[in-house]
Amino acid sequence: AQKITQTQPGMFVQEKEAVTLDCTYDTSDPSYGLFWYKQPSSGEMIFLIYQGSYDQQNATEGRYSLNFQKARKSANLVISASQLGDSAMYFCAMREGISSGYALNFGKGTSLLVTP
Amino acid sequence: NAGVTQTPKFQVLKTGQSMTLQCAQDMNHEYMSWYRQDPGMGLRLIHYSVGAGITDQGEVPNGYNVSRSTTEDFPLRLLSAAPSQTSVYFCASSPLAGVLELYFGPGTRLTVT
């Protein structure tokens, strides 16, 4: 079964607008971490933000915030004030504990295009 | 720190050839892993290691071997290349405490003809 689901293959947003990229996850492990990575056209994987399963507050890193709804098993990424340089693939990922070998499981990604 | 390094950046192989993709990290991370990325599939785990001398299979291990003789190095061996192994390969490492953020290498683009 898919552990991470990203239902939006592609998204468009206008510069300076906010955009939400959806992510839902599936786990029975009480301890897990949720990550978002950005992959620009150059190909490197860039870590954006992390949320631990026991964290009470939603994570924020600059213009990125993670809307963590534990009961719904969702971890949506919100990018505020989009910039042209935000155009990229975005991957949601989940890391469980030792029982899963610490594997980081990725979703299939969302392609974001920021337009002027 | 160089972080995670991978060589080569690009490689073309013929079907049936073997080769080794190199990966090294200088952050003293216990955990190292190999992923492959194919269009529309996200990143899929091939093999991983939680320390020197310890390796295990991920989601798509067939056709690949790994070994971990040192903390720093984690080579990925393709035993007999097949066109289905055409992909971009990423090596990644992390500590096994704290946030567990995975640090990625720049990737190797492999084409098997």
Tokens of A55: 């964290």
Whether B42 and chain A come into contact, CB under 8 Å, resolves to yes
Among chain A residues, CA nearest to B49? A101
Residue A102 has what pLDDT?
80
Mutation target vs B (from A89, A104, A111; most B CBs, 10 A cutoff): A104
Tokens of B23: 């990966």
B29-43: per-residue pLDDT in tens? 999 999 999 988 889
**Of A16 and A28, the one with more pLDDT:** A16
What's the burial of B113, exposed, middle or buried (CB within 10 Å: 0-12/13-18/19+)? exposed
Q: How large is the average pLDDT for residues A22-40?
A: 94
Q: What is the DSSP letter of B73?
A: B
Residue B97 has what pLDDT?
80
DSSP strand pairing (A24-25 vs A4-5): antiparallel
Whether A109 and chain B come into contact, CB under 8 Å, resolves to yes
Q: Using CA atoms, how far apart are residues A57 and A99, in angstroms rounded to an integer?
A: 26
Residue B105 has what pLDDT?
97
Residue A83 has what pLDDT?
97
B72-93 in b/e form (b: 16+ CB < 10 A) is bebbbebeebeeebbbebbbbb
Confidence tier at B21 by pLDDT (50, 70, 90): very high
Q: How large is the average pLDDT for residues A17-25?
A: 98
B45 → closest Cβ in A47, A91, A103: A103
Whether B54 and chain A come into contact, CB under 8 Å, resolves to no
Residue A47 has what pLDDT?
94
Residue B100 has what pLDDT?
80
A46-97: per-residue pLDDT in tens? 999 999 999 999 999 999 999 999 999 999 999 999 999 999 999 999 998 7
Specify whether the CB–CB gap between B20 and B11 falls below 8 A. Answer: no
Which of A96-100, A112-116, B2-6, B77-81 has the least mean pLDDT? A96-100
Q: Using CA atoms, how far apart are residues B33 and B4, in angstroms rounded to an integer?
A: 11
Q: Using CA atoms, how far apart are residues A97 and B62, in angstroms rounded to an integer?
A: 24
B106 → closest Cβ in A44, A47, A91: A44
Please say if the pLDDT value at position B11 is more than 80.
Answer: yes
As a whole number, the mean pLDDT across chain B is 94
Q: Verify whether the Cβ–Cβ distance B88 to A91 is below 8 Å.
A: no
Q: Verify whether the Cβ–Cβ distance B102 to A104 is below 8 Å.
A: yes
B57-87: per-residue pLDDT in tens? 999 999 999 999 999 999 999 999 999 999 9
Contacts of A104 in chain B (CB under 8 A): 33, 45, 92, 102
Confidence tier at A1 by pLDDT (50, 70, 90): low
| Percent of chain A whose pLDDT exceeds 90 | 86
Contacts of B104 in chain A (CB under 8 A): 37, 44-45
> For tokens 């320390």, what's the residue?
B51
Q: Verify whether the Cβ–Cβ distance B100 to A95 is below 8 Å.
A: yes
B107 → closest Cβ in A37, A43, A109: A43
